[in-house]
Structure 1
Amino acid sequence: MATTSWSTWVKWDGSIEKTLAEGQHVASGELSVAEVRQRAGGKGTASILDVVTLDDRAHLGRCWVLGAPELHRHFGSKTPPRKAIEAGREAFLAKLEPGQAVAVTAYSRGMPSVVLFAGRTDS
């Protein structure tokens, strides 16, 4: 079975939960998130719509929200800019197992600006 990587940038909306909800709303279009998931069936959508739960650790079926220590370890800064995340995105995604997702916040002038939601899925 092949593994597919997916990623989506979403503008920061005050909290990671609100940012995820906005990204899912945009991705689902005219349908509800639940309707899109139901139509996709067990194979998933290979998109931000597959994110159901946010977590502070990497787990199958959950979206790992990187905190300051992880951001520093993986991207060289506790407040990395979007360019640093884009430069390291593919190498970081390769470390995830199918079924795992990650949320990486990018900063501009020390403030959250956008979040990369990304993951891997079996296809």
Structure 2
Amino acid sequence: MNIDIIKIPKIEDPRGNLSVIQEDILPYTFKRIYYLYDVPSGAYRGGHSHIAQKEFLIALSGSFTVVLNDGHETQTVTLNKPNEGLLIHEGIWRELMDFSSGSVCLVVASDVFDEDDYIREFDEFLADHKS
């Protein structure tokens, strides 16, 4: 499956740790950053795929589960470390769920929002990924 777990450098300091995301961490130039928070218990986010956009997800606080599907197999990843992220390449269906109380999901995207880049229907996604 076309995903990667990427370690974000961690600078340890007794006053508090620091991690930095800059252009040498990700294999793309990022153009948009957004975050999910206050997700109610039992709710899920995502439920789509991107045609061209890549996204890097980080659990800044708390934890959540990402269920991924490439049209042939499903993989589940739990994110719960602020210095580790999940790089989701284009063409991967994602659903985010099981958000812990107080969790924050940061997303670093390769492009600005473009509705035409989304596949929002799972059946359409599967039809595009049959080989």
Q: Which structure: larger Rg?
A: 2
Between Structure 1 and Structure 2, which shows a larger proportion of helix residues? 1
Give TM-score scaled by structure 2 length.
Answer: 0.29
Give TM-score scaled by structure 1 length.
Answer: 0.31
